[in-house]
A and B are shown apart, each in its own frame.
Chain A
Amino acid sequence: MLGSNGAGKSSTLKAVVGLLAPADGAVSVLGHDPVREPVLTKQLVGYVPESALLYDALTPREFLEFVASVRGLDAQQVSERAKSYVTAFQIEREFDQPLATLSNGTRQKILLIGAFLHQPTLLVLDEPLNSLDPRSVRLMRELLTQYVAQGPRGVLFSTHTMEVAQRLCHRVGILDRGRLVGEGTMDNLRKQTSQGNATLEEIFLRLTREEEGVYAAVRALGGV
């Protein structure tokens, strides 16, 4: 899901996970209504919010134990899974430090692990690569590809990094001021904009009618 700042990406994702009720229309997640069947929907979804807002007084171990408890996960299975991710993200040393004392990147990793813990059918990630170091960005890209390949699962995520979206996503949705102005595979979007070899960035700027606006803004700033 792509969109300018304030286009409605995060609000859409919050509606998908049941944090916000839609002002108009309806949301259906894997056939369930997050407003009418919140618990059922939340069992199927793993979510990483835009900001790593967590219980700061807890340690990663305590936080993940809380998530695993609420999700009713098996101790042995969840421990093995958590260990794999903790090792992959290289945060063993920080595992017993309060979250308040950790960097934004490490907190983001904890949130990602929390979302993967129950191996949900749908992962909803709001700008998941923010704050991550290059190694972790690469790791996440590989993990997401592998995750989708392993089963009937989906990942819905928002990003500002066109290159990541173009490389990873089977389908791209482009939001502009609360409206979906384009949606489909790269080929669909190229056809929609009549641009045969366009990059996702060019398609995005064309669909949101921002291309000329960018140059105008640069010209205006040149005089400052």
Chain B
Amino acid sequence: MRPSGPSEASRAPVAVPSAFRLAEMAYLELSFQAVYALRQGNVLAAETPKIPGGLAAQARRRVAQSKFLVSLLIVMLIGGSMLTLTPFFEQIFLVGPVAVPLPLYTGTVVAGLLLLELSFLWMVGLQSLPTFLGSQILPVLETLPIPDKKLDRVALLVLFRLFDAPAVTALVLTPLALGFAFHSTLAGLLVLPGVLIVIILAMGLSLRTGRFFVQHVQGSRGGLRESVLRWFYLLLWAVPAFGIYGFVSFGFQIIGGLAYLSRTAPGVLGNLLLIFPFPLGLMPLFGLSGTSSIGLLTGGNVVTIALAAAGYGGLALGVARWLLTAPRALSRLTPEVEVSDKPRGVVLRPVRASAAILLKDLRTASRTPGYAFVILLPLIDAVVIGLSSYIGAPRPNSVFDLAAAAVSTTAILAIFFGPAFFATEVMGYSYTRTLPLTNRSMLLGKSSLIVLIYLIASAIVVGLTILRLLELWLFFAFIIAELPGLIAAAFLEIGLLFRRAEAAGVPVSLMSSGAWWATTVVLPGIAIAGLPIALFAVLQHFGISPIQSFLAMGGVALAELAIFSLFALGLPGRGRG
């Protein structure tokens, strides 16, 4: 007997949507998860409109806002580089103590810009990877009857969507800006391969380093030794940021050093310099004529540059081929877990609630590179500016200025990232909201993290400059005078977040996801943290004595603390965060 069942027509293979369509759907889900984090336990407030299309559109809008802000930074990098190609800066290097040949100077600026773009895109990729992996979108698609090749393509497209805006900004604006600066369309076009190579290499580096961290950091066991090792690995995560800071801070010194090398070691070292990092930066010179191009582009140099550029092209091609399958492979990767046969025993060490928040954030950050980065960036800033005192401040008097600048920028950066520390709460926050945690404990815990970053950064700067600071007490006085202002700024930011969350009827963890929300909270915070520093600078400018300046600075900072303690500690709806 023939079994009854569906007709043949209904068994016809269903057409699988195109990779682009699937990637768009996956990307929308990823944006939704990144903004609302429902999979991590967040709940939508009762007042939130439940129209699915409306929520999705809002998620898409918020992610687009974030990408727009990131792209603005690329625009600033390109703009900064273009400034250095203006006659004013060129003159400084052409008539400086060691004159830099014009082609070397312009080549260095372009190569520097490409390196900055590489570091920045690498950093953006690293920051986006946890979202990409945490959303668990690809494992859902894996269960559907979609051909392997198409799944690979979808994974690549979704990954690319994460940093498409800054990548496209770099791809379009770099040639345009260089063409404008050199007054040559050809010179602008010749940098295009360099930018393309940079984007591919940045994606490759992001995935490669991301893979390392999934395997070796996320599955790492608890314990002090393991924590130290994890933070060491996380320092590697911050290498691109270190590169950006280093290049921006020491750009003039790098160019001066290269000028010196071009005079003293024109042979082997010169050729090495043509191989890294300049061949891609020197490419636009082929489109120029006159003094801008002569000198470097002769004989053997041209061959070396061409070969090195081709080498980078080949490398990018290899990476591009690897990228066709790597994102999907990464999405299936699981952390390597070390299972212990000898358990350490069950001894719990409870601490105060606010300290528990701080400890939890540090522990979470130690296994979540994106959050660790937020903590490490102000510290890297302190290291770079502290080190720059050896190069930029030959006279001991100016060491204080640089050390103070290091501490000040650290304070501003810590405040800038303040709301981002709430992003760690997204994970498991719905559970935490069922614990008897007061807003006050949360406020103190989060502020402690900002203060901790500031104090560690200050200690780093002291360590780097202690032998060169003439009057150490001046520096300590500066650190202490700024501290109340920093705490006041932290209180203001967190108080604002809580009040706005209360008014909107949503968990406070959601407040950190909107770029504009963050901006309206961060800017007042930066103003409050910056006010005592600005006051000190103004008083010094007018020749007021350091002691009087510190007293005024500390007085303003204490007044800020008094005002914003009242604002923050009188938070409504305790325990409802």
Contact = CB atoms under 8 A, between A and B. Distances in A.
Contact of B221 (A59, A79, A224): A59
B222 A61 contact: yes
B264 interface: no
Contacts of B347: 79
A69 B351 contact: yes
B355 interface: yes
B435 A67 contact: yes
Contacts of A39: 436-438, 574-575
Contact of B364 (A45, A57, A67): A57
Given A20-B43, A21-B46, A65-B348, A71 B435 contact: yes
Interface stretch (A47-55, A154-162, A172-180): A47-55
A97 interface: yes
B350 A42 contact: no
A1 interface: no
A62 B357 CA distance: 11
Contact of A53 (B6, B431, B436, B573): B431
Contacts of A97: 219, 221-222, 337, 339
Contact of B223 (A21, A40, A74, A96): A96
Given A38-B574, A53-B40, A53-B41, A69 B346 contact: no
Interface in B191-239: 218-223
B359 A18 contact: no
A40 B348 CA distance: 24
B60 interface: no
A69 B356 contact: yes
A79 B360 CA distance: 18
A58 B350 contact: no
A83 interface: yes
Given A92-B343, A100-B335, A53 B428 contact: yes
B135 interface: no
Interface in A85-102: 86-87, 92-98, 100-101
A203 interface: no
A23 interface: yes
Nearest to A40: B436
B569 interface: no
A64 B41 contact: no
Nearest to B371: A57
B574 A82 contact: no
Contact of A59 (B222, B335, B355, B435): B222
Contact of B335 (A53, A55, A101): A101
B43 A19 contact: yes
Interface residues on chain B, size class: 35 or more
Contact of B348 (A20, A54, A61): A61
Interface string B270-313: 00000000000000000000000000000000000000000000
B332 interface: no
A14 B428 contact: no
Secondary structure call for the B interface? loop
A96 B575 CA distance: 29
B240 to A, nearest CB: 22
B108 interface: no
B339 A93 contact: yes
A41 B6 CA distance: 56
A57 B366 CA distance: 8
A62 B345 CA distance: 13
Contacts of B345: 83
Contacts of A40: 436
A116 B53 CA distance: 41
Contacts of B328: none
Contacts of A220: none
Contact of A62 (B39, B40, B353, B360): B360
Interface in B304-334: 334
A68 B575 CA distance: 16
Given A45-B434, A49-B431, A57-B368, A20 B350 contact: no
A31 to B, nearest CB: 16
A142 interface: no
Given A64-B348, A101-B219, A70 B356 contact: yes
Given A69-B355, A73-B350, A93-B343, A98 B335 contact: yes
Contacts of B437: 39, 42, 70
Contact of B430 (A19, A38, A74, A94): A19
A95 B346 contact: yes
B87 to A, nearest CB: 52
Given A18-B434, A39-B574, A66-B359, A61 B346 contact: yes
B7 interface: no
A44 B235 CA distance: 43
Given A55-B360, A93-B339, A98 B41 contact: no
B349 A65 contact: yes
A96 B343 contact: yes
Given A20-B46, A56-B427, A70 B353 contact: yes
Contacts of B432: 70
B534 to A, nearest CB: 38
A129 to B, nearest CB: 18
Given A19-B43, A38-B574, A59-B221, A70 B436 contact: yes
Nearest to A60: B222
Contacts of B343: 92-93, 95-96
Contact of A55 (B219, B221, B355, B428): B428
B221 A57 contact: no
12 contacts: A39-B574, A61-B222, A61-B348, A64-B348, A68-B350, A70-B436, A75-B349, A92-B346, A96-B221, A96-B222, A96-B340, A101-B219
Given A38-B436, A59-B221, A71-B435, 9 more contacts: A49-B434, A58-B363, A66-B360, A69-B353, A70-B436, A75-B348, A83-B345, A98-B335, A100-B335
Interface of B: 6, 39-41, 43, 46, 218-223, 334-335, 337, 339-341, 343-353, 355-356, 359-360, 363-368, 427-428, 430-438, 441, 505, 573-576
What 9 pairs across the A-B complex have the smallest Cβ distances? A53-B41, A69-B356, A38-B575, A42-B436, A57-B367, A83-B346, A55-B428, A39-B575, A59-B222
